[in-house]
Every structure is written in C-alpha cells, then in structure tokens.
Amino acid sequence: MNEPKFEWLARAGYSARGIVFLLVAGLALFSSFGGGKPDTKSALDSLLDQPFGKLWLGLIGIGLLGFVAWRLAQSIANADNHDASAKSYLIRVALLGSAVTYIGLAIYAFKGALGVGSAGDGGEKDLAEWAMSQPFGRYLAGAIGVGFLVGGIATALKGISRKFERYLKLGQSRPLILVCIYGLVSRGIVFAIVGVFFCYAAFSVDADQAGSTSDALTFVRQLPLGGVLYLAVAIGLAAFGIYNLVEARYRTVSTPSVSKVKRELPLRHR
C-alpha cells in the first residue's frame, strides 16, 4: 500500500464524515422552522437542492469510501496498534461495524449523485428490518441495539476521559480540545438513545420502533427543558462534525504493512 495515498484517503474520509454531521446539525437546528429529518441520509438529500449538488454528493461518497478503508485498516489490520485484550477486540469489532454503516451511507450518496437514490428512513430502520428477517432475528436486533448503546457510552467516555488525544496532535489548543469533548459526548448520547430504541424494537418485534438520529433528537426535545437540551445536543452534533475535521487535519494515521495485515488475519496462508 502506498502510505501517502492511504493517509489521504483516511483524511478525506474524516472530512466527509465531518461535513455530513455539520449538515445533520444544521437540519436539527432549523427543523423546527422548516420541517425535515435531521439524520445522515436527509443531510445528504439536502445537498441535492444546492448548486452542483450531485457533484458534492459524489465527492462525499468518495470521501466516505476512504473512511471505510481506514475503518477496515483500524479493525482488521489493527492500524492503531491495540493490544490483545478483550477490550481492544471489542473496540475493533465496533470499528468494523462503523465500516459497514458507512459503506451503506457511501452507496446512498452515490445513488443520489446518479439520480437513482430515494428518500427514506435513517438507516437504523432498514437495519432493524434486515435483522428481524434473519433466523433468531429479534436476538440479532437486540445484540445490534446493545452494540449501539455500548458504543454511545464508549464514545461519550472517550470525550470525557480525553482518550482521543492519544491519536491527535493538538498540543495545548484548549478550545479545540473542548470542542472535541463536547462533540463526542453529544454524539455518544444520541448513539445511546438510538441503541435503546433498537433494543425496544427487538423486544416488541417491531422494526418500526427502531429510531434514527432524528428520532433520538425528538425524544430529547420531549424531555423536561427539552428545548434547551435539544439545542445543546444539536450544537453538539455540529461540534462532532468539527471534531472529525480536526481529525482530518491532526489525526495520526498509520498504514499497516502487507505483512502486518496477514499477521492480523485469523486465517493465514502458509
């Protein structure tokens, strides 16, 4: 693998994800006035109304594929050099799940760029329907929901504990660090709520109960002081978008060698 090109792919991927979440935050902040659903697919759909919208969608799709490549390097090839502990393997499984999620979003972007995409729910309901259709579907859906919930808690703790600084060269830039913490905690909260919805969908054997980012934000708005909390989380999603742009600039990207990839694979050719 050519390291400079692979590093460029990873940084383009973080940039694309950052743009998507900035669009999600924008939809969340203005949805009270103009309607709409603040989730990742709706964020991509919103670009179609802009000049050169299909071109932008295509570029974001390419960027998201770069992000998928980086997530695969992190999960399968252990690009971040995690140890052999159970916790590290769980992190890598979560990174692999992230790769699968963003493959779907990249395909959605390309469909929109080619004019063959269609508006629909956030990907969570589609994922729930697929899980429910499998053998032992409700248990599979429940496991996915627990994954969302644990992933949300882990994301929030990653911000609170500032573990993200292990891979970011931010120096003493306190404002950027605070933005990163705010973004990770907000994203973690939304992710955890989506996980609870998913678990409820599994419990009720009803895929329609699975919720997207939009549904999670609606739930937040219905809480006491919901308007204030909604605004805080929506701004937090913008902070998460900025966090991804910070990663695009400052994240340490290590490209695993071919020998390391072979070593990390469970089945090795002799």
- Band the pLDDT of 257: cuts 50, 70, 90: low
Place of tokens 């609170």: 160
Give the pLDDT confidence of 166-182 residue by residue, as tens digits: 888 887 778 899 999 99
Task: Compute the distance between CA of residue 104 and CA of residue 162 in angstroms, rounded to an integer.
Answer: 30
Q: How many domains does the chain have?
A: 1
In a domain, 131, yes or no: yes
Closest by CA to 117, choosing from 60, 70, 66, is 60
DSSP string across 22-36: HHHHHHHHHHHHH--
In a domain, 224, yes or no: yes
Task: Compute the distance between CA of residue 189 and CA of residue 228 in angstroms, rounded to an integer.
Answer: 15
**Token digits of residue 67:** 């992000």
In a domain, 9, yes or no: yes
Give the pLDDT confidence of 3-23 residue by residue, as tens digits: 577 888 899 999 999 999 999
DSSP string across 178-229: HHHHHHHHHHHHHHHHHHHHHHHHHHHT-GGG---HHHHHHHHHTSTTHHHH
In a domain, 190, yes or no: yes
For residue 168, list its beta bridge partners: 251
**Would you tell me how many other CB atoms lie within 10 Å of the CB of residue 247?**
22
Which domain range does residue 159 map to? 3-252
**Token digits of residue 194:** 């989506």
In a domain, 268, yes or no: no
Q: What is the pLDDT, as a whole number, of residue 119? A: 46
Average pLDDT over residues 157-166: 91
pLDDT at 82 over 60: yes
The C-alpha R_g of the chain, in whole angstroms, comes to: 18
Task: Compute the distance between CA of residue 84 and CA of residue 220 in angstroms, rounded to an integer.
Answer: 38
- Band the pLDDT of 33: cuts 50, 70, 90: low
pLDDT at 265 over 80: no
pLDDT at 201 over 80: yes
pLDDT at 263 over 70: no
Q: What is the pLDDT, as a whole number, of residue 2? A: 47
**Token digits of residue 13:** 């991927």
Mean pLDDT of the chain: 83
In a domain, 42, yes or no: yes
Average pLDDT over residues 30-54: 75
**Token digits of residue 195:** 């996980």
**Token digits of residue 239:** 């902070």
Cα three-residue angle 149-152-153, rounded to 5 degrees:
90
Q: What is the pLDDT, as a whole number, of residue 246? A: 94
User: Residue 151: CA atoms inside 13 Å, Cβ hemisphere, count?
Assistant: 23
pLDDT at 269 over 60: no
In a domain, 153, yes or no: yes
**Token digits of residue 139:** 């248990």
Average pLDDT over residues 98-116: 87
In a domain, 62, yes or no: yes
Q: What is the pLDDT, as a whole number, of residue 120? A: 47
Place of tokens 């994800």: 17
3-state secondary structure of 270: coil
